């Protein structure tokens, strides 16, 4: 503001004194200056000399349009935090405004504390500018490198769900969450407004959403900026929020309005929490939120090359291209930078002047230094009950039958009981259907909507979070983990694909943060995928898709773990391992249907530790080389493989069969590719150098080839798995449709073991006939044949 606006400011009504307003505006100008500097300048950071072409970066990369809005909100939040001693973090939905958030962390001092070479002086400022979106420097978004960030914001849509995840079980935390008006058009963000139905004002923290209506996306107007105020307000109110609108393009007026709005919102939040926490009456309140309607690219060039830029979509990225041959652009850039009056903002050393450094809060109250935004630093281990106590007592191989996820549910119940403040179970309406219902012995489903007689285990205090949105489950869990807590996401196997893209983003976050020394490891994301491809009894083809595994194994090997426990005891051991692990994406695929229990708990622990093992008891090769290896991975393939082994032992007793089970899929990859990879010599001893391997796999067969193509015996590996044949039918018909059934596995052995073919042609024919009989039985009786239903491992 120049002197005249400053005088005018004093006459505008609002909570700020003219001095406060002047300082706040100076802070905003400083952040804007540092933002433009990062996007444009290679050198001459303080414009101590006239700007020349060689001071400008050759490649101009970054996003200006969203930045002045982010800077404005950040500055106002800083004022409020300092005044009220708040515990707050900042989430920038339009994460492409990276330079804005970086600018604020530098002003707060955190950036220089974590990256000492980028000091808070002229040399440091030059480095700050140079490193931004520059090879060897930091990325253009609010990336993991940015202090205080838990949200990169590159893929739009997840800011609000991250904010709520962070607020769960964090009663003192306020999450300031800026939502872009373009971002608000995404499905995940549109669904996120429902989050407040799951937020308990007594137990959880608060989210203060700011819908940033700068009016535009990259090339289009934003929908919510064009539906008219009434519709917008009705929409927001319909979602249970009390919107406070701040609108304008005159800085002093907007500062006053925004300061009043932030004060009001924070007072509302405090009142809501106070009431819930003192009266014991927990209802769904009408949470405040802000709608900030200011120009996109505010304070930037009004016009470039005769076209309007400020307040239009043209300001989205780099408003002035500053072509090498364009002295006008260069002059315009210099005028733009000087409009912030850097000489008033930075002292002779290049450090922010005292009145700027005095504005933000101190120490860990700075949003860039808040430990909640570096969750690993405050992560506490879970108290885990001894999973061995929950074991199925295996009497004979395969007996008793058990529903693995139901067995697991008892253990998860006790995990919940032992960790009432740091563990949650998330799911899209399937916790009971996935047979984890035991958890409801000790907790409920979190819910602050109206609860009616007959509802099942709903309460504001529930620790199970169920909403029919895989996006929300994923986003909440990510926010919860990123702020130092633990959780499990249980989903149908097919529909976890809904969050493929979110998983990509989280995997990138995990990969990058592993390399950042000041970021501490966080708890892993644990997927428990039940209701899997082979057992969709109530459903059909739409529910049959094991491809999530293929998706995640593309991610960095150090991040991804995939487990397919074949029975209840191996599932218990696997999940215990996953909940102790850090900084991974653990995918566990397990059955919920009653199935055989193969291993005692001691055996299961050993087997899980090995990851892949020979099941001596299932083979007949003791003391000699096997003629064939039957490998299996997944509960249903394991059942079919053991039934095939049984057939082979009976019909071809002279054939030496080795049975190998894989519980840790990544064991198959070479040790050079994955930390769990078996060294080649070990792999060769298990899978042999030259014998046929019939591999029955849970998912798409090509994945097994992908993982093993470098192994010695790969040419002899024959994989059966899901080949996209499915419908609503019996479990055994499903495996037959995909040639994964026991009879087909025997046929595969006959076809692959040299010398067997013609000698056992009768057996091959018998297997074909058995398939046909089983199929006929399903067509006639609507269930699997007794020889399938009654099969059990011979005693």
Ligand X SMILES: Cc1ncc(C[n+]2csc(CCOP(=O)(O)OP(=O)(O)O)c2C)c(N)n1
Q: How far is the CB of 182 from Mg ion (least distance, A)?
A: 5
Residue 181 or residue 466: which is nearer to ligand X going by CB? Answer: 181
CB atoms within 10 A of CB 263: 18
Q: Is 95 in the site for Mg ion (CB under 5 A)?
A: no
Q: Where are the beta strands (DSSP E) in 458-524?
A: 458-459, 464-466, 486-492
Q: How far is the CB of 243 from Mg ion (least distance, A)?
A: 17
Of 434, 430, 385, which Cα lies nearest the Cα of 412? 385
Q: Is 295 in the site for Mg ion (CB under 5 A)?
A: no
Question: Closest residue to ligand X, Cβ-based?
Answer: 180
User: By CB under 5 A, which span of 6-14, 219-227, 362-370, 405-413 interacts with Mg ion?
Assistant: 219-227
Contact by Cβ (8 Å): 71, 254: no
Residue 216 or residue 426: which is nearer to ligand X going by CB? Answer: 216
Running DSSP on this structure, what letter comes out for residue 237? Answer: H
Binding partner selected for residue 218 from ligand X, Mg ion, none, CB under the kind-specific 5 to 8 Å limit: ligand X
Integer CA distances (angstroms), 114 to 118, 120, 415, 516, in order: 9, 12, 36, 10
Q: How far is the CB of 125 from ligand X (least distance, A)?
A: 25
Residue 55 or residue 212: which is nearer to ligand X going by CB? Answer: 212
Tokens of 515: 């390399």
Q: Is 93 in the site for Mg ion (CB under 5 A)?
A: no
CB atoms within 10 A of CB 160: 33
Q: How far is the CB of 501 from ligand X (least distance, A)?
A: 8
Residue 245 or residue 442: which is nearer to ligand X going by CB? Answer: 245
Residue 94 or residue 376: which is nearer to Mg ion going by CB? Answer: 94
HSE-CB at 606 with a 13 A cutoff on CA atoms is 8
Binding partner selected for residue 96 from Mg ion, ligand X, none, CB under the kind-specific 5 to 8 Å limit: ligand X
Residue 222 or residue 707: which is nearer to ligand X going by CB? Answer: 222
How far is 714 from 484, CA to CA, in rounded Å? 42
Residue 51 or residue 146: which is nearer to ligand X going by CB? Answer: 146
Q: How far is the CB of 154 from ligand X (least distance, A)?
A: 6
Q: How far is the CB of 327 from Mg ion (least distance, A)?
A: 32
Q: Is 312 in the site for Mg ion (CB under 5 A)?
A: no
Distance of CA 656 to the CA centre of its chain: 46
User: By CB under 5 A, which span of 101-109, 220-228, 298-306, 513-521 interacts with Mg ion?
Assistant: 220-228
H or E element in which residue 526 lies: strand 525-530
Of 497, 662, 492, which Cα lies nearest the Cα of 592? 492
Residue 156 or residue 788: which is nearer to ligand X going by CB? Answer: 156
Q: Is 310 in the site for Mg ion (CB under 5 A)?
A: no
CB atoms within 10 A of CB 681: 8
Residue 145 or residue 183: which is nearer to Mg ion going by CB? Answer: 183
Q: Is 182 in the site for Mg ion (CB under 5 A)?
A: yes
Residue 216 or residue 492: which is nearer to ligand X going by CB? Answer: 216
Q: How far is the CB of 155 from Mg ion (least distance, A)?
A: 16
Q: How far is the CB of 92 from Mg ion (least distance, A)?
A: 12
The 3-state DSSP class for residue 631 equals: strand
Q: Is 153 in the site for Mg ion (CB under 5 A)?
A: no
Integer CA distances (angstroms), 484 to 479, 582, 746, in order: 9, 11, 50
Q: How far is the CB of 514 from ligand X (least distance, A)?
A: 24
Q: Where are the beta strands (DSSP E) in 713-783?
A: 717-720
Residue 103 or residue 431: which is nearer to ligand X going by CB? Answer: 103
Number of helices (H) and strands (E) in the chain: give both, helices first. 26, 22
Q: Is 214 in the site for Mg ion (CB under 5 A)?
A: yes
Distance of CA 783 to the CA centre of its chain: 40
How far is 22 from 5, CA to CA, in rounded Å? 10
How far is 717 from 62, CA to CA, in rounded Å? 49
Q: How far is the CB of 94 from ligand X (least distance, A)?
A: 4
Count of residues near Mg ion by CB under 5 A: 5
Q: How far is the CB of 225 from Mg ion (least distance, A)?
A: 8
Return residues touching ligand X (CB under 6 A): 65-66, 94, 96, 154-157, 180-183, 186, 212, 214, 216-218, 222, 296, 316
Q: Which residues of 104-143 are buried (b: 16+ CB within 10 A; e: fewer)?
A: bbbbbbbbbbbbeebbbbbebbbbbbbbbbbeebbbbbbb
How far is 174 from 182, CA to CA, in rounded Å? 24
Binding partner selected for residue 65 from ligand X, Mg ion, none, CB under the kind-specific 5 to 8 Å limit: ligand X
Binding partner selected for residue 183 from ligand X, Mg ion, none, CB under the kind-specific 5 to 8 Å limit: ligand X
Q: Is 181 in the site for Mg ion (CB under 5 A)?
A: yes
Q: Summarize as ranges the residues that interact with Mg ion (CB under 5 A).
A: 180-182, 214, 222
């Amino acid at each position: 503001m120049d002197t005249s606006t400053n005088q005018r400011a004093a006459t505008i009504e609002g909570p700020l004194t003219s001095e406060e307003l002047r300082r706040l505006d100076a802070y905003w100008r400083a952040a804007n200056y540092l933002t433009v500097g990062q996007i444009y300048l290679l050198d001459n950071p303080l414009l101590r000399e006239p700007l020349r072409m060689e001071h400008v970066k050759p490649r101009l990369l970054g996003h200006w349009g969203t930045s002045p809005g982010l800077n404005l909100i950040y500055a106002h939040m800083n004022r409020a935090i300092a005044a009220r001693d708040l515990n707050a973090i900042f989430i920038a939905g339009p994460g492409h405004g990276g330079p804005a958030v970086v600018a604020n962390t530098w002003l707060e001092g955190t950036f220089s504390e974590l990256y000492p070479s980028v000091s808070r002086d002229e040399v440091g400022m030059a480095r700050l500018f140079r490193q931004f979106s520059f090879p060897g420097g930091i990325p253009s978004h609010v990336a993991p490198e940015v202090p205080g960030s838990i949200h990169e914001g590159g893929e739009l849509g997840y800011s609000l769900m991250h904010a709520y995840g962070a607020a769960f079980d964090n009663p003192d935390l306020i999450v300031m969450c800026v939502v872009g008006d373009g971002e608000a058009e995404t499905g995940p963000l549109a669904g996120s407004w429902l989050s407040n139905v799951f937020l308990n004002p007594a137990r959880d923290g608060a989210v203060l959403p700011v819908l940033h209506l700068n009016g535009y996306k990259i090339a289009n107007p934003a929908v919510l900026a064009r539906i008219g105020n009434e519709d917008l307000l009705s929409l927001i109110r319909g979602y249970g929020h009390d919107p406070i609108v701040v609108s304008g393009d005159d800085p002093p007026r907007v500062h006053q309005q925004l300061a009043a709005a932030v004060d009001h919102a924070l007072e509302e939040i405090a009142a809501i929490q106070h009431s819930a926490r003192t009266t014991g009456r927990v209802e769904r309140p009408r949470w405040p939120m802000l709608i900030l309607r200011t120009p996109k690219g505010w304070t930037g060039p009004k016009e470039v090359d005769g076209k309007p830029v400020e307040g239009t979509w043209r300001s989205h990225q780099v408003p002035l291209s500053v072509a090498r041959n364009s002295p006008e652009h260069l002059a315009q850039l210099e005028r733009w930078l000087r409009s912030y009056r850097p000489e008033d903002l930075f002292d002779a050393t290049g450090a922010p002047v005292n009145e700027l450094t005095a504005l933000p809060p101190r120490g860990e109250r700075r949003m860039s230094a808040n430990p909640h935004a570096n969750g690993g630093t405050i992560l506490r281990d879970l108290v885990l009950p001894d999973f061995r106590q929950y074991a199925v007592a295996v009497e004979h191989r395969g007996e008793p039958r058990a529903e693995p996820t139901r067995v697991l549910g008892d253990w998860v119940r006790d995990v919940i009981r032992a960790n009432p403040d740091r563990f949650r179970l998330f799911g899209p309406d399937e916790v009971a259907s996935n047979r984890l219902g035991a958890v409801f012995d000790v907790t409920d489903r979190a819910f602050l909507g109206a609860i009616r007689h007959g509802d099942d285990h709903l309460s504001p205090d529930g620790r199970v979070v169920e909403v029919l949105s895989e996006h929300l489950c994923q986003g909440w869990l990510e926010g919860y983990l990123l702020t130092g807590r633990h959780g499990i996401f249980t989903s149908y196997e097919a529909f976890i694909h809904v969050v493929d893209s979110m998983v990509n983003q989280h995997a990138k976050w995990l990969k990058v943060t592993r390399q950042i020394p000041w970021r501490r490891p966080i708890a892993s994301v644990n997927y428990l995928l039940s209701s899997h491809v082979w057992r969709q009894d109530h459903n059909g083809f739409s529910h049959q898709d094991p491809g999530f595994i293929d998706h995640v194994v593309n991610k960095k090997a150090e991040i991804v773990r995939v487990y397919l426990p074949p029975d209840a005891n191996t599932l218990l051991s696997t999940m215990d391992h996953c909940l102790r692990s850090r900084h991974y994406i653990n995918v566990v695929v397990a059955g919920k249907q009653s199935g055989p229990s193969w291993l005692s708990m001691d055996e299961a622990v050993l087997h899980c530790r090995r990851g892949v093992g020979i099941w001596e008891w299932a083979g007949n090769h003791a003391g000699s080389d096997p003629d064939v290896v039957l490998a299996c991975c997944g509960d249903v393939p394991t059942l079919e493989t053991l039934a095939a082994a049984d057939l082979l032992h009976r019909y071809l007793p002279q054939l030496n069969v080795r049975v190998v089970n894989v519980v840790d899929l990544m064991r198959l990859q070479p040790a050079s590719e994955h930390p769990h990879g078996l060294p080649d010599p070990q792999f060769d001893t298990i899978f042999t150098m030259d014998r046929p391997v019939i591999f029955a796999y849970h998912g798409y067969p090509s994945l097994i080839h992908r993982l093993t193509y470098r192994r010695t015996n790969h040419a002899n590996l024959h994989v059966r798995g899901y080949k996209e044949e499915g419908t609503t039918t019996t479990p055994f018909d499903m495996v037959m449709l995909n040639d994964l059934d026991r009879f087909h596995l025997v046929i595969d052995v006959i076809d692959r073991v040299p010398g067997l073919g013609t000698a056992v042609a009768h057996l091959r024919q018998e297997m074909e006939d058995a398939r046909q009989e089983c199929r006929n039985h399903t067509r006639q009786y609507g269930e699997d044949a007794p020889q399938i239903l009654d099969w059990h491992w011979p005693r």
